[in-house]
Amino acid sequence: MERRFYFLAGDALSNAIMGMASAWLATSIVDHTWHMLTAMLAGMAAGMGLSLILMPLFVGLFGAMEVMLPVMLTAMLAGMAFGMADSMYVLTTLEVLLGGGLSGILVLLLTYAADVIMHGKRL
C-alpha cells in the first residue's frame, strides 16, 4: 500500500467521508420500528450502493488499488452498524456522522494492519 502523505491523507479522508455518508444514508432509510436484521441488510445495501456512486471520485484522486477495498468495506460496515443501531436507538446526526467517520478510520487502520501482516512487512 502507498506510504506517501498525499495518499495516506487521501485514504483517511475518503474512508471518513464514506463512513459518514453511509451511516447517514442508512439511518435515513431505517425506521425505529424495523427489525434489527432487516435494518442491517438495508444499511449494508445502502452503503454498498453509495460506495459505487462515490467511488469514482476517490479513485480518480487517490488511485484505485489503495482506495477500493477500504472504502467499500467502510461503506458496508458503517451502513450495517448504523442501520442496526438506528433500529434500536434514537441517534443524533452528530453521533451518526462522528461514528461513521471513526468507523472509516478504523477500517483503514485494520486494512493497513492486514496488509502488513499478510506481506510480512515492518511498519
- 3-state SS, one letter per residue, for 40-83: HHHHHHHHHHHHHHHHHHHHHHHCHHHHHHHHHHHHHHHHHHHH
Q: What percent of the chain has pLDDT over 70?
A: 97
51 within domain boundaries: yes
Domain extent for 81: 5-117
pTM to 2 decimal places? 0.89
The answer to whether position 122 is within a domain reads no
pLDDT of residue 5: 86
15, part of any domain: yes
Whether residue 83 lies inside any domain: the answer is yes
Task: Give me the tens of pLDDT residue by residue for the chain, a chain 123 residues long.
Answer: 667 888 888 899 999 999 999 999 999 999 889 999 999 999 999 999 999 999 888 888 888 877 888 999 999 999 999 999 999 998 999 999 999 999 999 999 999 899 889 988 765
80 falls within a domain: yes
| Separation CA 68–CA 111 (nearest Å) | 11
User: What is the total count of domains within the chain?
Assistant: 1
**Do the domain assignments include residue 66?**
yes
Structure confidence by residue, pLDDT tens digits, 73-98? 999 999 999 999 999 998 999 999 99
123 is a domain residue: no
For residue 38, tell me if it sits in a domain. yes
